[in-house]
Amino acid sequence: MPYSFLPHTADAKFQADGTTLEEAFSSAAEAMFSVMADPAKVKPVYEEKISVEGADKKALLYAFLEELLFLLDTKKFLLNRIISISIAIKEDKLILDATAAGDIDLEQYEIHGEVKAVTYNEMEITEEEGKVTVQVVVDL
């Protein structure tokens, strides 16, 4: 599993990794949704395109995860996985384009928690040779 949860009293704190920044971001998305419903159990019957930008990598990660929460609230979108994702520099900011697969029929899944928001609390992005790890705390 490319993510794991760390002790945190009130909220959910996780670390997610990948071989690239994009992969780590994808793992982070799955980690966030796992608080609510097991992504592996969600059927990939529906796709959403995501396009966000940020001044730096942390802001980009924040914007990406928040967009997914926005899709949950407005389209009832539950994540199975990120099918494709690319991060690039455009002028003086970072842009991210991705396609997320999941389901919008919430009734059939056991949803057991609610992620209210992404936070910058203890957010970390660590890039090493062949491994990128992100750490995020989400507000429950």
Residues of the shown chain interacting with other proteins in the complex, contacts defined by CB under 8 A: 5, 7-13, 35-36, 55, 59, 66, 69-70, 72-74, 76, 106, 110-114, 116-123, 137, 139-140
> Could you count the other beta carbons within 10 Å of the beta carbon of residue 89?
8
CB of 73 to other proteins, least distance (A): 4
CB of 63 to other proteins, least distance (A): 8
Q: Which residues contact 58 (CB under 8 A, 6 or more apart)?
A: 120, 123, 125
- CB nearer to other proteins: pick between 51 and 121: 121
Q: 């419903």: which residue's tokens?
A: 37
CB of 116 to other proteins, least distance (A): 5
